[in-house]
């Protein structure tokens, strides 16, 4: 890996969690530039809009000078190639993540052989956090303040059912 490697960290981020931020911090140490790429998917019902996700992510990673946040449409590998990225960064929490990640990584490699997927493990303390569970716990009145960045707690309050 060269000192100038650009890496893309893609996801739905609905909402961003402390697990995402942990992985971004780890990736920012490895790569010269890390672009957090939010999927703009009209079909998938999201709690937060892409603009809201961007705002929350920017706030959560503002201490990392080599990290930027963007949204993307269409094929991830095309976006990555447009940005000159050679790496797609993904986190794997448990074995259950592996099958989906393997399929995506192999398909992305078939589509764009010049781009490698790199998997990293989040800190153990984050291995059970998912955006889906954060939303469920929040709706059921649970405390999510140790699971997501403070700005996400704030923005969740504006999302009453």
| Structure token digits, residue 123 | 């800190």
Q: Which is nearer to ligand PNS, 45 or 141 (CB)?
A: 45
Q: Which residues are catalytic?
A: 20, 44, 93, 131
Q: Which secondary-structure segment (H or E) carries 25?
A: helix 18-30
Q: In a 3-state reduction of DSSP, which class is residue 106?
A: helix
Q: In a 3-state reduction of DSSP, which class is residue 28?
A: helix
Residue 34 pairs in a beta bridge with 7, 67
Q: Which is nearer to ligand PNS, 11 or 31 (CB)?
A: 11
Contact residues for ligand PNS, defined by CB under 6 A = 10-12, 39, 75-76, 104, 107-108
The answer to whether residues 117 and 109 touch, using CB atoms and an 8 Å cutoff, is yes
Shortest Cβ distance from residue 5 to ligand PNS (Å)? 19
Q: In a 3-state reduction of DSSP, which class is residue 40?
A: coil
Shortest Cβ distance from residue 26 to ligand PNS (Å)? 17
Shortest Cβ distance from residue 62 to ligand PNS (Å)? 21
Q: Which residue is nearest to ligand PNS (CB)?
A: 11
């Amino acid at each position: 890996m060269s000192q100038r490697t650009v890496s893309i960290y893609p996801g739905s981020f609905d909402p961003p969690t402390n697990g995402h931020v942990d992985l971004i911090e780890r990736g920012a140490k490895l790569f010269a530039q890390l672009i957090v790429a939010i999927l703009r998917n009209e079909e998938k019902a999201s709690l937060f809009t892409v603009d809201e996700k961007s705002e929350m992510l920017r706030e959560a990673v503002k201490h990392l000078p080599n990290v930027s946040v963007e949204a993307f449409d269409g094929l991830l590998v095309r976006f990555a190639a447009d940005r000159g990225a050679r790496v797609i960064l993904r986190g794997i929490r448990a074995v259950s993540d592996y099958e989906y990640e393997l399929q995506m990584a192999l398909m992305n490699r078939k589509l764009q052989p010049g781009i490698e997927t790199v998997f990293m493990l989040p800190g153990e303390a984050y291995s059970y956090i998912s955006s889906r569970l954060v939303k469920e716990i929040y709706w059921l009145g649970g405390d999510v303040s140790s699971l997501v960045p403070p700005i996400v707690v704030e923005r969740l309050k504006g999302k009453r059912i």
